[in-house]
Amino acid sequence: MAIGLGGNSDGTRRALSVAVASLSGTLDALRVSALYRTAPVGGPEQPDFWNAVAVGRTRLPARALLARLLRLERSLGRRRRGADRNGPRVLDLDLLLYGGATLDDRPLRVPHPRLFERRFVLAPLAELAPGWVVPGTGRSVASLLDAAPAARVEPAGRIA
């Protein structure tokens, strides 16, 4: 599966490190992309984001994995309701892909419904798995990245 990691507030870099450490206990064969600095998409005016992608394997069902990701977000200070929903956040974890599955059972939707238009997700995912064919598209991650709308996505080192 593939998990998007991001955030853009004080403490995000630390939260990303904690999240990766936690994911290493949840996912087998964990690999993490480089960190990217990206422009915010939609929502109120806010600071740039730090984004990365992690891929690995798990025996957890998709719903249980999503619940674990949401608990991890909350434990690090993320609130997904109210005025803060689309504003700056310390940590955002999204289940992007779950093997070859296509799921549409809100709040669980995979592939992530906006994956195809988000260069800040496709660039780090292509770094790890360019040939992964995204379910429902018949297209590889690399070809989706080539077709994605232009956006600023700058390599920014690694998650410490």
Catalytic residue among 37, 63, 74, 92: 92
Residue 89: active-site member: yes
Residue 80: active-site member: no
Per-residue tens of pLDDT for the chain, all 160 residues: 999 999 999 899 999 999 999 999 989 999 999 999 998 877 678 899 999 999 999 999 999 999 999 999 889 887 766 555 667 888 999 999 999 999 998 888 999 888 888 999 999 999 999 999 999 999 999 999 999 998 999 999 999 7
Residue 158: active-site member: no
Residue 85: active-site member: no
- CATH number of the domain where residue 149 is located: 3.30.70.560
Write down the pLDDT at residue 63: 94
Write down the pLDDT at residue 113: 84
Distance CA 56, CA 70 (A): 18
CA proximity to 113, closest of 132, 100, 99, 94: 94
Write down the pLDDT at residue 29: 93
Catalytic residue among 74, 79, 84, 94: 94
28: containing domain: 2-158
Peptide bond just before 107 cis, omega within 30 deg: yes
Radius of gyration of the chain (CA): 14
Write down the pLDDT at residue 86: 67
Name 103's bridge partners: 110
- Number of structural domains (the chain) is 1
Catalytic residue among 28, 63, 68, 89: 89
**What is the pTM (predicted TM-score) of this model?**
0.92
